[in-house]
């Protein structure tokens, strides 16, 4: 149980993908509860998310998750000032479970409803603080790199809730590449944490994977890397005399480690290099990192070293706040509440909701 809230709490609901999250957040910053029911085990068998299965699991877990959030916070409806919910982007069926749940709660308890963009939540995780901690806060102007399973982009923020898109992926998201290459290496779902674990056992980063620099743009592309990974894995299998498509004939553990390390290095190199370049071009006073792939240790360490060399504060939430959770939606929701925003009970799911659109080409180069 946490210290009692001194101000109203935002009750936040996140069900955009495969995590059922409910949180209670004060001031857009202090976490009083942040309960996440993960469906990872449920989707591991199929090697990826099955949308109908995900939506049904949200329905099954959302009430117990809310109950446990009340318990963790030692709070009740009298402490709540608003209900925030993710309305996109994400899986339509999953989003609808959270939206309808939040709407019902807001209506029954007569609280304002706030619609939050999931990607904005990933950015605002940088403002969160666990009980008893006072981490450094981001300062504007800042550059934020959001890297998740469905999204990879760089934005500049000169103030709260204002985004200028600097660059985005032209094909796969970084997390998607981790998941696909994880599968190629026989590491299972989700690939990101598994590749990180395998890579940490590598003795040398001696297998070179290609980097798509795309000139001086801040855009990303990971599909070529994915194709190269398939070729490199096939060659490694041939070298070890394994049949090409027998999943039970597995590469030696040391080979998997070296391949995982080479792949991870390539992704981290491109993400970190472009982020630092964008931060310098925008004269950023801080860098924010968010999204599931921001949980990656190699990425965190590389960016921390590069940012420190430039005396740029780097704000990276702890791994549990980088992957999907309700607290990040509460953090963003509180800003929207303060800005006077309210959503209606006609709020609908927006599966392809963007965070920011590119302005004009000349501006996107910073
Ligand atoms: O943000 P998130 O939890 O869900 C989406 O909004 O997509 O991100 C999930 C993604 C998955 O692709 C997963 O493989 C990746 O984040 N991920 C990681 C790590 N932990 C999660 N990727 C690399 N290293 C990690 N440690
Ligand atoms: Zn996410």
- 10-residue mean pLDDT series, the chain (366 residues): 77 96 98 93 80 93 97 97 98 98 98 98 98 96 96 97 96 96 93 97 86 97 96 95 87 96 97 98 98 97 98 97 97 97 98 83 43
Q: 291 CB under 6 A from ligand 1? A: yes
If one counts every other C-beta atom within 10 angstroms of the C-beta of residue 72, the result is 18
pLDDT at 3: 66
Cα(172) to centroid(ligand 1), Å? 13
Which ligand sits nearest to residue 321's alpha carbon? 1
**126 Cβ neighbours under 8 A, 6+ residues apart:** 137, 138, 144, 288, 289, 290, 315, 316, 317
Residue 118 Cα: closest atom of ligand 1? 6
What is the residue with the minimal CA distance to atom 8 of ligand 1?
A: 292
State in Å: Cα 241 to ligand 1 middle: 33
Q: Which of 293, 332, 353 to mutate to test the pocket of ligand 1 (most atoms within 8 A of CB)?
A: 293
E strand spans, 15-102? 19-26, 30-38, 80-88
Q: What is the pLDDT of residue 216?
A: 94
Residue with tokens 């934005």: 155
Ligand 1 pocket member 353 (CB < 6 A): no
Number of the ligand closest to the Cα of 119: 2
Q: Is 266 exposed, middle or buried (0-12, 13-18, 19+ CB in 10 A)?
A: buried
- Order across the sheet with 113-117: list the strands: 30-38, 19-26, 9-14, 80-88, 113-117
175 Cβ closer than 6 Å to some ligand 1 atom: yes
Cα–ligand 2 centroid distance for 355 (angstroms): 12
3-state secondary structure of 296: coil
Residue with tokens 């001086």, as numbered in its chain:
216
């Amino acid at each position: 149980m946490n210290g009692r809230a001194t101000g109203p709490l935002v009750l936040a609901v996140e069900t955009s993908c495969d995590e059922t999250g409910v949180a209670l957040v004060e001031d857009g910053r202090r976490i009083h509860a942040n309960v996440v029911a993960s469906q990872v085990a449920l989707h591991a068998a199929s090697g990826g998310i099955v949308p109908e299965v995900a939506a049904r699991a949200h329905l099954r877990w959302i009430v117990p998750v809310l109950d446990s959030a009340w318990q963790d916070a030692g709070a009740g409806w009298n402490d709540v000032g608003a209900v925030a919910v993710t309305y996109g982007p994400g899986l339509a069926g999953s989003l609808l479970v959270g939206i309808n749940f939040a709407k019902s709660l807001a209506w029954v308890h007569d609280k304002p409803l706030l619609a939050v963009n999931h990607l904005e939540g990933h950015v605002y995780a940088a403002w969160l603080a666990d009980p008893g901690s006072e981490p450094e806060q981001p300062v504007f102007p800042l550059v934020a790199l959001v890297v998740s399973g469905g999204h990879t982009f760089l934005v500049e923020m000169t103030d709260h809730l204002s985004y200028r898109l600097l660059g985005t992926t032209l094909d796969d998201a970084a997390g998607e590449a981790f998941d696909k290459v994880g599968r190629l290496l026989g590491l299972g779902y989700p690939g990101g944490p598994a590749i990180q674990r395998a890579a940490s056992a590598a003795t040398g980063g001696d297998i070179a994977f290609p980097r798509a620099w795309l000139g001086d743009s801040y855009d990303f592309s990971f599909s070529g890397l994915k194709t190269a990974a398939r070729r490199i894995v096939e060659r490694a299998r041939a070298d070890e005399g394994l049949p090409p498509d027998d999943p039970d004939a597995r590469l030696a553990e040391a080979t998997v480690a070296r391949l995982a390390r080479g792949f991870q290095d390539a992704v981290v190199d491109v993400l970190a290099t472009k982020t630092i370049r964008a931060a310098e071009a925008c004269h950023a006073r801080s860098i924010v990192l968010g999204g599931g792939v921001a949980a990656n240790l190699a990425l965190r360490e590389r960016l921390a070293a590069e940012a420190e060399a430039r005396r740029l504060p780097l704000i990276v939430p702890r791994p549990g706040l980088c992957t999907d959770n309700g607290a990040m939606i509460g953090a963003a929701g509180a800003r929207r509440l303060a800005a006077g925003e309210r959503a209606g009970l006609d709020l609908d799911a927006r599966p392809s909701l963007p965070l920011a659109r590119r302005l004009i080409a000349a501006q996107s180069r910073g």
